[in-house]
Chains A and B, each alone.
Chain A
Amino acid sequence: EVQLVESGGVVVQPGGSLRLSCAASGFTFDDYTMHWVRQVPGKGLERVSLITWNGGSAFYADSVKGRFTISRDNRENSLYLQMNSLRTEDTGLYFCAREKDRLVDYWGRGTLVTVS
């Protein structure tokens, strides 16, 4: 069974930093591109970042470019999101998700980040 478990979400002040983690199991982690997607109150789902299977390429939403860094450790089956210079508009529920052939097919339950 595919499982994605996010952690690291807390309350942080504007300008602060945070590192989110996602533990993956139930599939061959290094076969897949992985994503971070967030659910912002009142605004629905928003892609944040993705990283290819070997970490060779990463993409970011314009709203987080230069502030967030995605990474992965294929030996530990883990995905990370380093979040710096946090803003109140970064508040939301952050999901880790797996992609297969451009389709995001499995998601975690999310971890809540509050910037206040």
Chain B
Amino acid sequence: EIVMTQSPATLSVSPEERATLSCRASQSVRSNVAWYQKKPGQAPRLLIYGASTRATGIPARFSGSGSGTEFILIIRSLQSEDSAVYYCQQYNNWPMYTFGQGTKLEIK
């Protein structure tokens, strides 16, 4: 099973600043990585797929990059509503897809 490791576990950033979230795969997953946002009481929302393609309706403040084993999610101009847990997921090894353990983003 491919292990996805996210860092940091918790991130606290001021409004209007930039947050950088990392995700590492235990083996190459090419560009088959997605990022999801999860807020309490809400359904997880797909942000990024194919490592760098924004999903429908996702603002340009969200960007993803990486391939192989190293992936990054950057959120620019942070707003209070960006407070959430963010998960990366590899779907290269379908149907044995796996998630990272999540990064909790707090807006100061």
Cβ B102 vs Cβ A107 within 8 A: no
Q: Which residues of A contact B (CB under 8 A)?
A: 4, 39, 43-47, 50, 59, 95, 97, 102-110
Contact partner, B43, options A46, A103, A109, Cβ 8 Å: A109
- Known contacts: A44-B100, A50-B95, A102-B91. The answer to whether A109 contacts B46 by CB under 8 A is no
Q: Does any Cβ of A come within 8 Å of B71's Cβ? A: no
Shortest CB distance B74–A (Å): 21
In the complex, the chain B residue whose C-beta lies closest to that of A62 is B1
Q: Is the interface of A mostly helix, strand, loop or mixed?
A: strand
Bound-complex Cα distance A47 to B38 (A):
16
Residue of B nearest to A6 (CB): B43
Q: Which residues of A contact B99 (CB under 8 A)?
A: 44-47
CB of A102 within 8 A of CB of B41, answer no
A44 to B5, CA, bound (A): 11
Can you give 21 A-B contacts (C-beta < 8 A)?
A4-B43, A43-B101, A44-B99, A44-B101, A45-B87, A45-B89, A45-B99, A46-B99, A47-B96, A47-B98, A50-B95, A59-B95, A95-B44, A102-B94, A103-B91, A104-B46, A104-B97, A105-B55, A106-B46, A109-B43, A110-B43
Give CA–CA (A85, B41) in the complex, Å.
28
Q: Give a binary string over B11-53; 1 marks a CB under 8 Å from any A CB, 0 the rest.
A: 0000000000000000000001010101001111110010000
B41 touches A109 (CB 8 A): yes
